[in-house]
């Protein structure tokens, strides 16, 4: 039964095929029609190899069945049977009788088959050939960009994205900024700081809202010991996209600590807290109070904060501070609570894609679910919201 859905487009193609028969070759057509239904029966009996053989034989004697092959190959690819799709589309291209339009469509479909099979070099070759066709250029370019991303050939991905942007109204700035960041990460791996900086500035020139470029620039400045510069670019992240603010709290704390500017740090945290009661900001404030004013001050702050904005991170910090008072049997419950909250924090997904809802434990700049860039953002720190 699962193969029945295959029949609709093939039946439509068959009707079109049959309608084209002239009265002079009705007998031959009847023979081919018999073959066609034989092929359908093979499909219904879940014998696609035999079905393909029959349809291929029909194609050998009748050029009009190209449409049937295109439909059949696409359906096999959608079913995940990529080898069969490649066989059908590949054998179709080898025919000499195809019209130019049919040949291009067969090449396009074969390229899609190769992409699905992960045969990127073969797919690239086909899509490069289709770039000369005005009607297919946009599609071929988008497929080539996808291939270059998979192959991590970021320079080519940038060049082809720029080319696509020139012929379409769709901006590619956000994704090309990320391609520049990918090149910066590669250069960072080789400790080529000047090249890292050049690519990151290029990323910001392409997309001033590229938070990833700022995060990497901040890390670069920290490595060079230029903490004021690092603080400036980390703080700019909130203006670029507030969703990424939790990502800069920890490195900002390190920068302020390195400079010994703890008063400025607490002032900044309190300002930020006016706008955002995320768990990481609360946790950073509690840590500061613990170090500067002692555990009573930190506990009072956490109890007040958690009553209004209960977060798992804040709860664990509160339990941690209380546990530091002693290790006796009376602390057994607190130890269990600390263990449970730590396990929950470690196992919880902390990031979610705004576009498709994909959840992950670590930050991915390109969503594995929908392949969009900059759509995965930190979740609001497991806020245990009270009912509205």
Q: Does 355 bind Zn ion (CB under 5 A)?
A: yes
Minimum CB separation of residue 120 from Zn ion in Å reads: 22
Minimum CB separation of residue 210 from Zn ion in Å reads: 18
Q: Does 363 bind Zn ion (CB under 5 A)?
A: no
The span of 201-209, 228-236, 251-259, 367-375 binding Zn ion (CB under 5 A) equals 367-375
Binding residues for Zn ion, total number by CB under 5 A: 7
Of 35 and 241, which CB lies nearer to Zn ion in the complex structure? 241
Query: How remote is the C-alpha of 99 from its chain's centroid?
Result: 38
The span of 205-213, 271-279, 330-338, 361-369 binding Zn ion (CB under 5 A) equals 361-369
Dihedral of alpha carbons 25, 31, 37, 38, sign: negative
Helices (H), 294-378: 295-308, 312-323, 332-347
How many CA within 13 A on the CB side of residue 64?
15
Closest CA to 241 of 174, 322, 334: 174
Distance CA 55, CA 279 (A): 62
Minimum CB separation of residue 47 from Zn ion in Å reads: 39
Q: Does 369 bind Zn ion (CB under 5 A)?
A: yes
Residue 371 falls in which region: left (phi positive, over 0), alpha (psi -120 to 50) or beta: left
Minimum CB separation of residue 142 from Zn ion in Å reads: 17
Minimum CB separation of residue 369 from Zn ion in Å reads: 4
Closest CA to 111 of 144, 68, 66: 144
Asked if 7 and 75 touch (Cβ cutoff 8 Å), the reply is: no
Q: List the x/- string, 302-341, binding to Zn ion by CB under 5 A.
A: ----------------------------------------
Phi, psi dihedral angles at 30 (to 5 degrees): -60, -40
Distance CA 237, CA 247 (A): 9
Q: Does 353 bind Zn ion (CB under 5 A)?
A: yes
Of 133 and 355, which CB lies nearer to Zn ion in the complex structure? 355
Q: Does 358 bind Zn ion (CB under 5 A)?
A: yes
Binding footprint of Zn ion on the chain (CB under 5 A): 353, 355-356, 358, 367, 369-370
């Amino acid at each position: 039964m699962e193969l029945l859905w295959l029949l609709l487009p093939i039946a439509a193609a068959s009707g079109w095929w049959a309608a084209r028969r002239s009265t002079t070759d009705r007998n031959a057509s009847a023979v081919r029609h018999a073959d066609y239904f034989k092929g359908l029966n093979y499909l219904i009996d879940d014998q696609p190899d035999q079905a393909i053989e029959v349809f291929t034989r029909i194609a050998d004697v009748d050029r009009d069945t190209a449409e049937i092959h295109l439909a059949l190959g696409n359906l096999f690819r959608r079913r995940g049977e990529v080898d069969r799709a490649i066989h059908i589309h590949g054998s179709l291209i080898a025919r000499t009788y195809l019209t130019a339009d049919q040949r291009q469509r067969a090449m396009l479909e074969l390229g899609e088959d190769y992409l699905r099979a992960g045969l990127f070099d073969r797919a690239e070759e086909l899509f490069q050939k289709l770039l000369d066709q005005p009607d297919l250029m946009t599609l071929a370019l988008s497929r080539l960009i996808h291939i270059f991303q998979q192959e991590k050939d970021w320079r080519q991905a940038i060049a082809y994205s720029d080319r696509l942007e020139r012929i379409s109204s769709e901006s590619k700035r956000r994704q090309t900024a990320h391609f520049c960041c990918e090149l910066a990460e590669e250069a960072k791996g080789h400790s080529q700081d000047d090249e890292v900086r050049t690519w990151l500035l290029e990323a910001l020139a392409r997309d001033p809202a590229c938070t990833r470029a700022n995060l990497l620039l901040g890390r670069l400045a920290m490595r060079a010991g230029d903490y004021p510069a690092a603080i400036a670019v980390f703080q700019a992240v909130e203006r670029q996209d507030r969703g990424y603010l939790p990502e800069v709290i920890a490195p900002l704390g390190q920068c302020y600590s390195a400079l010994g500017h703890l008063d400025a740090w607490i002032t900044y945290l309190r300002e930020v807290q006016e706008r955002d009661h995320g768990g990481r900001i609360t946790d950073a404030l509690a840590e500061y109070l613990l170090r500067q004013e002692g555990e009573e001050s930190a506990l009072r702050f956490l109890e007040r904060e958690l009553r209004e904005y209960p977060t798992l991170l804040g709860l664990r910090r509160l339990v941690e501070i209380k546990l530091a008072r002693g290790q006796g049997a009376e602390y057994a419950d607190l130890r269990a609570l600390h263990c449970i909250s730590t396990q929950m924090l470690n196992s919880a997904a902390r990031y979610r894609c705004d576009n498709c809802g994909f959840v992950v434990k670590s930050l991915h700049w390109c969503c594995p679910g929908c392949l969009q860039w900059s759509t995965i953002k930190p979740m609001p720190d497991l806020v245990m919201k009270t009912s509205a």
